[in-house]
Amino acid sequence: MELTLTWTIARRELREALRNKWLWFYALGFGVLAFGLAQAGMSAAGYAGLGGFGRTAASLINSLLLFVPLIGITVGAGVIAGERERGTLLYLLAQPVNRAEVFFGKALGAALAVIAALALGFGIAGLGLANQGGDPASFLALVGFAVLLALASLGIGFIISALTHKAATASGAAMIVWLALVFIGDLGLIGATMAFRPTPASMLTLVLVNPLQIFKLGAIYSLRSTIDTLGAAGQYAMIQFGDTLPFVLVSLLVGWTALSFALAYGVFARKGDV
């Protein structure tokens, strides 16, 4: 795999992704919502045990749980499927490049576009949070976890894109997967807790198999809140991992990213009909 060719494809994909109006719509939507929440102060919202800035920042977590996976999954879902439908993927693969260069070039370009969109959203959010007197390190940690969640979501989107042949089908599947992760994941966790009354260890396992729940746990931890705000699973995680918990959560999100892109590449490399 030649890095020069990979970077060339990445730049092309970055330009294509940056033309996606929905990418900027989602980023601006999150930024404006975050700015509004910060200006409102959210004095009655948030999690117990958090100060003024903490309450405001914690109120952003639910917004991030909606917008960040949506950006990643929808962008990833349209990358391969869209080119396959237009016939440009076949033309690209006919050039002196291999599938690895095409796939990872597209993945890199899409990742850069998603990070740019998040930078815009968090930039607007940062303006709103500037007067809250919070800890910049906590805000940067929240940004870091959001970027990792976006990359993991992008990998899931690439799996969908590699499996489908039409952009419309990929977009529909992406919305279904997003809804499942955001809503069914939370409801399923609550239902499993009520129905089976799992042990703290089992509860933690259920949390850690969902990248959104990993992000939520890491984001709340990054706000330097009290241990009570982490919930039963989070408290058990603190007992098990102690101060290494954020590193464990980062490693899990990195693992989710690597696994999702590996699966997507496996599907893409095996498709003989491109």
- Report the candidate in 77, 28, 68 with the shortest Cα–Cα distance to residue 175: 77
Neighbours of 166 (CB within 10 A): 12
User: Would you state the pLDDT for residue 47?
Assistant: 44
- CB–CB of 109/59 below 8 Å? no
Per-residue confidence band for 5, with pLDDT thresholds at 50, 70 and 90 = confident
Per the structure, the count of domains in the chain is: 1
In the predicted model, what is the mean pLDDT of the chain? 81
The amino acid at residue 4 is T
Q: What is the pLDDT of residues 223-251, one digit of tens each?
A: 765 555 666 667 777 777 777 888 989 99
- Provide mean pLDDT across the span 183-209: 70
Q: What is the pLDDT of residues 46-97, one digit of tens each?
A: 444 444 555 666 677 878 888 899 999 999 998 898 888 888 888 888 888 8
Structural domain containing residue 117:
3-270
User: Would you state the pLDDT for residue 49?
Assistant: 41
User: Would you state the pLDDT for residue 38?
Assistant: 67
H or E element at residue 65: helix 52-86
Higher pLDDT, 52 or 271: 271
- Provide mean pLDDT across the span 33-37: 75
- CB–CB of 256/151 below 8 Å? no
Q: Which residue has the tokens 């419309």?
A: 168
- Report the candidate in 160, 15, 82, 156 with the shortest Cα–Cα distance to residue 92: 82
Of the CA atoms within 13 Å of residue 78, those in its CB half-sphere come to: 23
Q: What is the pTM of this model?
A: 0.86
User: Would you state the pLDDT for residue 229?
Assistant: 62
User: Would you state the pLDDT for residue 273?
Assistant: 55
Neighbours of 217 (CB within 10 A): 25
- CB–CB of 158/107 below 8 Å? yes
Residue 165 has pLDDT above 60, yes or no: yes
- Compute the chain's Rg from CA coordinates: 19
User: Would you state the pLDDT for residue 148?
Assistant: 95
Helices 211-222 and 231-241, axial angle in degrees (round to 10): 70
